Structure 1
Amino acid sequence: MRRDGKTTSLWQDQIPDYESDNQALKSGKIYDVLVVGGGITGITTALLLQKSGKNCIVAEANSIGFGTTGGTTAHLNTMLDTDYHTLISNFDEKSAQMVAGITREAIEMIRQLANSYQANCEFKELPGYLFAQDEEQAKYIDKIVEASRKAGISIEYTNQIPINVSFQKALVFDKQAQFHPTRYLYALANAFEKAGGTLLQDCKVTNIEEGDIIQVPTSQGTIQARQVVYATHIPPGVNLLHFRCAPYRSYVLAVTLNNEAQYPDALVYDMQDPYHYYRTQDIDGKRYLIVGGEDHKTAHMENTETCFRNLESHVRQYFDVDQIAFRWSSQYFETTDGLPYIGHLPGASDNIYVATGFSGNGMTLGTVAAIVLNELLTTGQSPYKDLFAPGRVKPVAGFTSFVKEQADVIKEFASKWFSQSDLGELADLAHDEARVVEYEGTSIAMYKDEYGRIHAVNPTCPHAKCAVAWNSTEKSWDCPCHGSRFSCDGELLTGPARSNLEKINIDELEEADGE
């Protein structure tokens, strides 16, 4: 199964790309809704809309599950990365209650859809544990308990946690869950097609022409639709939301253990910065411990292999590891105030919608987005419309974070773009090494693969002209400003960029140098 990087996740191993039954784009047909993106947000949204009577088409640039849905750790939470103390502080108590309610609804919907469509995704409801390891964390846990109870979360202190890690204080919250995300996604995609929906894979949206009937040029022809939903993780092009969302990467290990008793039958989280998260997954009779962490802003870590080494060291400190079976990384976007953006796309016409900014809770909040978007596109209203509105303006909540993110963007423009090194370094590239070099006044992003072949591209991201940085783990060029990612040959992997990096012919450069 293809994905947006060189590593293979547990969810993609031995699973082929999805085979669609309804891939034909009908010329001249006007669809009610075009959903751009084939992850959990896009497929769930399309299925709900199709069941509501809309005639829907999904356009996925690669294969469904290619991006974050194929790289998640598949925790399903009412206790989100943005805790309820922060939500009440940034918003109010009623908003926190609404978030708790809609996340519970989303988890229950996943359970119902998995059962209805026989997803074989091993959905399992479990308790969640959060533990503090120092005095400061312990004090903050008290704030989380108080705020969570105000939001309506069932939460209690506990003297035990299901992993062998020392702690000062811990709490347990019920009715969390987990599942196998790609099996679930495939079942929903199949149900969408059987309901009459059209699913196009390898269908790249290249532009959009607004109007009552939206014209959408794609790599497979022009799609016409009355409404468009961007379920692309972050909307393509240049938009206000790119300055309200910051891209991050997270790292994951799936390991087997020598001691069967060490597999936790729960979802577990520490309070480190960045935090670690743990759970168990059974797949076809084989058991894995999944551990994630080491998060950092995209392209802000010079050697991403260090993240995996640190994570492996952490796992081996507390667990009797038999084998590192899988390792992978994935991307998510943080919003400035802690809640996702779901609804009308700012700056676009009224019939264009977006869902983005799910932090590390993409499976839950992607489903929340599908619920809200289905309401908005079928009735024009939703009780969550204002809460998740992408155009919301809060001059206090998240303002400091917003300024920090913009300072990082300015920093990248000012320093990274003009980085230089001598041309002689080109010859010094080791196999599987990458570097940005300067050649006759032109910056070139170069990678020498394991066979000694040179791959070279212009390092300027076409989205907002930032300079990309090499991701040694996923073998990709990543943009530190807004999270666009490209293969070693410059092929676009994830937006918001719409086009590839410019490819450079090294042979021509070398011949010119010899002359």
Structure 2
Amino acid sequence: MKRDGALESLWQSEIKVYGHENDVNRTHLDVVIVGAGITGVTTALNLQKKGFDCMIIEAANMGHGTTSGTTAHLNTFFDASYDEVIDDFGLDAAKLLALAAGEALEIIHGNVVEFNIDCDYSPRTAYLFSLDEEQEKILDDLVEGSRKAGIEMNETGINPFGIPSTKVVEIPGQAQFHPIKYIKSLMGEYVKDGGRFVEGCRVAGVEKEGDHLVVSTQQGNIVCDHVIYATHLPPGKNIMHFRNAPYRSYVVALKLRDNNYPQALGYDLYEAYHYYRTHVINGEEYLIAGGEDHKTGDIENTNECFERLVNYVGRYFDIERVAYRWSSQFYESADGLPYIGHLPGSPDNVYCATGYTGNGMIFGTLAAKTLSDLVATGDSIYKKLFDPARTKPLASFTNFVKEGADVVKHLLFDRFSVDKIRTLAALENGQGKVVNYEGYSLAVYKDDTGKEHILQSDCTHLHCTVKWNSEEKSWDCPCHGSRFGINGEVLTGPAVKKLKKPLNPE
């Protein structure tokens, strides 16, 4: 499995599986980077070029997680709008965020040029459009805040997506690319510069021993000076698990009968907004549309999410067929900005990058810039803004309490809402379900041949009850977003141990 789900994304055929470097028991490394998505690979390349001896450790393969599930919009505006950032953090912080966004976009373009990367990089104009009066008010506030922060937005009468709108604004200077082609090329540069890459090796934790850090993995221990978690949530138990909420977003790549593929980026302003772009793969052009976001584990029949998305897009586009469909995970931070920097409660020189709120290509690149600066110099212009230990806005505390209460609810009540069954034969082929069978809470999936895959239903992270994801064929934890395959293998952390087999499965 090259991606963390059963469905194939538009990008994953480009994933390169590297050979495993068996010996991880190094005498000493400067930096260990955990995770080989855009954050990890870009950070490793930056540091290797600065003269650091680096190793990337990846539990699966390069691009296994959200980097192969993204829609790869490259924006200088974010889910946390600039007017919201001004209200929560102040105008100076909003201006710094705008500066950071522009720098991240420049870094990506600079890498494409410097390394001659064939990743379909294309400049694009983005369009934000309101569909009713409520959305129009949101758009007006968003535009005002963006202009104050230094982001150009201009009202226009044209919506290239043909969706009837009450107001449309265009944002020049945006872009798109093929995310796997991009990080595959960066990985090639990193390895060429002497960087090490270990696949199929899960990191369990980090301990301080004397002046150094010891990274424990499935293949042995590694001694190093710095550790960077580029994994969404770091493994184990730490404060980041309570400051981020896991979400799923749904994507379809569509063939259109009329070949009317808008060469732009588009977004409406629903609470769970829809987003659009196009891309050409092997000579075939596709409309890529996304939306229908929800908390991980909240919906088990995820086919309904795809159906709602296709039905909505079909109101405005002449769909011939759905060529690809997939979902992907992102983490919503408590205050809308990512957490990039020292991991609170950890030894010195242990860093994290998480809470990208669906803007991972830009924030992942920005994290790489920030973290490599912190490792190399101890400082970064963005250190304070993205500090994982920050607690400033009231909204952050409110969301922190809300997410904590949500976790407690799942811990206490989910196990009591499990259906009792007398026989496992009650499950249909292709069905997954958490059931109470002979006093055991079991996560049972019966595949299309009738074979039963039976596991204990407790997530191995903090023991919440997992939920079935019908389309990605995974067991998803609603508390902190850990995800597991049908045989219990970890697909997505923070869990590091697979789901257990039941004591008495029969």
TM-score range relative to shorter protein: over 0.9
**Corresponding residue SS for 2:172:** strand
Q: TM-score, normalised by structure 1?
A: 0.96
- The residue aligned with 1:144 is 142
- The residue aligned with 1:513 is none
**Corresponding residue SS for 1:206:** strand
Correspondences of 1:64-463 after superposition (within 5 Å): 64-211=62-209, 212-260=211-259, 262-394=260-392, 396-424=394-422, 426-463=424-461
Q: CA deviation at 1:282?
A: 1.4
State the Cα deviation string for residues 304-327 of structure 1 (Å, max 9, x = none): 110000011112111111221100
Q: CA deviation at 1:50?
A: 0.5
Which amino acid is 2:334 matched to? T
**Corresponding residue SS for 1:290:** strand
- The residue aligned with 1:18 is 17
Residues 118 and 182, structure 2, Cα contact 8 Å, conserved in 1: yes
Residues 98 and 150, structure 2, Cα contact 8 Å, conserved in 1: yes
**Corresponding residue SS for 1:207:** strand
> Structure 1 residues 377-386 or 389-398, which shifts more?
389-398
Residues 477 and 487, structure 1, Cα contact 8 Å, conserved in 2: yes
**Corresponding residue SS for 1:318:** coil
- The residue aligned with 1:46 is 44
- The residue aligned with 1:62 is 60
**Corresponding residue SS for 2:118:** coil
Counterpart CA distance in 2 for 1:305 and 1:318 is 21
Residues 251 and 325, structure 2, Cα contact 8 Å, conserved in 1: yes
Q: CA deviation at 1:394?
A: 1.7
Runs of 4 or more, structure 1, over 6 Å off, are none
Residues 426 and 437, structure 1, Cα contact 8 Å, conserved in 2: no
Q: CA deviation at 1:509?
A: 3.8
State the Cα deviation string for residues 352-389 of structure 1 (Å, max 9, x = none): 00000001100110000000001100000111111100
Counterpart CA distance in 2 for 1:90 and 1:207 is 34
Residues 24 and 220, structure 2, Cα contact 8 Å, conserved in 1: no
Which amino acid is 1:7 matched to? L
Which amino acid is 1:273 matched to? E
State the Cα deviation string for residues 468-489 of structure 1 (Å, max 9, x = none): 0000010000000000000111
Counterpart CA distance in 1 for 2:277 and 2:450 is 40
Change (3 A) 1:137 1:509: closer
Counterpart CA distance in 1 for 2:17 and 2:172 is 34
State the Cα deviation string for residues 428-453 of structure 1 (Å, max 9, x = none): 11111011121232211111001100
**Corresponding residue SS for 2:127:** strand
State the Cα deviation string for residues 10-41 of structure 1 (Å, max 9, x = none): 0013x353335x83536442110000000000
Residues 38 and 60, structure 1, Cα contact 8 Å, conserved in 2: yes
Counterpart CA distance in 2 for 1:219 and 1:229 is 18
Correspondences of 1:460-499 after superposition (within 5 Å): 460-499=458-497
**Corresponding residue SS for 2:315:** helix
Which amino acid is 1:2 matched to? K
**Corresponding residue SS for 2:468:** strand
Which amino acid is 1:363 matched to? M
Cα RMSD, aligned residues only: 1.4
Residues 444 and 453, structure 2, Cα contact 8 Å, conserved in 1: yes
**Alignment: residue pair count:** 505
Counterpart CA distance in 1 for 2:11 and 2:85 is 32
Counterpart CA distance in 1 for 2:381 and 2:39 is 19
**Corresponding residue SS for 2:395:** coil
Structure 2: which 5+ residue stretches go unaligned? none
**Corresponding residue SS for 1:480:** coil
% identical equivalent positions: 49
Residues 40 and 363, structure 1, Cα contact 8 Å, conserved in 2: yes
Q: CA deviation at 1:395?
A: 5.2
Q: CA deviation at 1:66?
A: 0.2
Counterpart CA distance in 2 for 1:27 and 1:156 is 56
Residues 40 and 367, structure 1, Cα contact 8 Å, conserved in 2: yes
Which amino acid is 1:325 matched to? A
Change (3 A) 1:396 1:422: closer
Residues 436 and 446, structure 1, Cα contact 8 Å, conserved in 2: yes
Residues 90 and 398, structure 1, Cα contact 8 Å, conserved in 2: no
State the Cα deviation string for residues 120-165 of structure 1 (Å, max 9, x = none): 1011111111000111111121111111011000111111111111
Counterpart CA distance in 2 for 1:119 and 1:380 is 31
Q: CA deviation at 1:425?
A: 5.3
Counterpart CA distance in 1 for 2:24 and 2:270 is 52
Residues 425 and 437, structure 1, Cα contact 8 Å, conserved in 2: no
**Corresponding residue SS for 2:169:** strand
